[in-house]
Amino acid sequence: MSERREVAAVAMAGLAGRADYPMYVVTARDGEEASGCLVGFLTQCSILPARLLVCISKENHTAGVASRAGSLAVHLLGSEQLELASHFGERTGDRTDKFAGVRWRVGTTGAPVLEDCAAWTEGVVRQRFDLGDHVGHLLDPVAGGGGGAQGQLSFHEVRSLDPGHPPGDPRS
């Protein structure tokens, strides 16, 4: 790693390492294949019109499905949903059907909507952006609601999970 990149990584870790942002599961369906992953890089980026920016790691199996999907569903995880975070974060869709054993339904846009979460929204993909090792998906929300889970699961509660696709790990 170059000295400049190393300095940038340390500076970012000092900022991001202290933040305790909420965790989400993002799901997609491209017409043939469904996939989902654990996401921490997500933000509301406009009030009127309502817009959401969802960032998915390029290493992730879901990245390919999401790149072909016309919509995504975003699910805020409740404070007691570490097991669901593990299910979508520590497994890879390359080898596992992540929807097996999980309660879900087809949403308004065709995206898979998880039945168990704190809150959810579906959005039509308006635009995509290359953001380095992630792809940003700009969503126009079209449906959403609350779930039965309470609170919110945070980054600090999931940081010990082992990603299904660790950085630099080739896909199977």
- Assign 167 a pLDDT band (cuts: 50, 70, 90): low
Tell me: pLDDT of 12 over 80: no
Q: What is the pLDDT averaged over residues 127-137? A: 97
Q: How confident is the model at residue 137 (pLDDT cuts 50, 70, 90)?
A: very high
Which ranges constitute the DSSP H helices of the chain?
3-16, 61-68, 82-89, 155-158
Dist. CA 22–CA 41, nearest whole Å: 9
Residue indicated by tokens 């299910």: 87
CATH level 3 topology of 21-158: Pnp Oxidase; Chain A (2.30.110)
- 145 pLDDT tier (thresholds 50, 70, 90): very high
Distance, in Å, from the CA atom of 17 to the CA atom of 11, rounded to the nearest integer, reads 10
More confident residue, 165 or 3: 3
Among 12-21, 127-136, 143-152, the range scoring the smallest mean pLDDT is 12-21
Residues with Cβ < 8 Å from 18, sequence gap 6 or more?
none
CA 148 to chain centroid: 19
For β-strands 71-76 and 119-130, DSSP reports them as antiparallel
How many Cβ atoms sit within 10 Å of the Cβ of residue 71? 23
18 pLDDT band, cuts 50/70/90, is confident
Task: Report the C-alpha gap between 38 and 82 in whole angstroms.
Answer: 11
Q: Sheet holding 51-57: strands in order across? A: 34-39, 24-29, 71-76, 119-130, 134-146, 51-57, 42-46
pLDDT tens profile 49-106? 999 999 999 998 999 999 999 999 999 999 999 999 999 998 777 778 889 989 999 9
For residue 104, the SS3 value is: strand
- In the DSSP assignment, the letter for residue 20 is -
Contacts of range 38-41, beta carbons closer than 8 Å, 24 or more positions apart: 38/85, 38/88, 38/89, 38/158, 38/161, 39/74, 40/155, 40/158, 41/134
Whether residue 172 has pLDDT greater than 70: no
Mean pLDDT of the chain: 90
pLDDT exceeds cutoff 70 at 171: no
Domain boundary assignment for the chain = 21-158
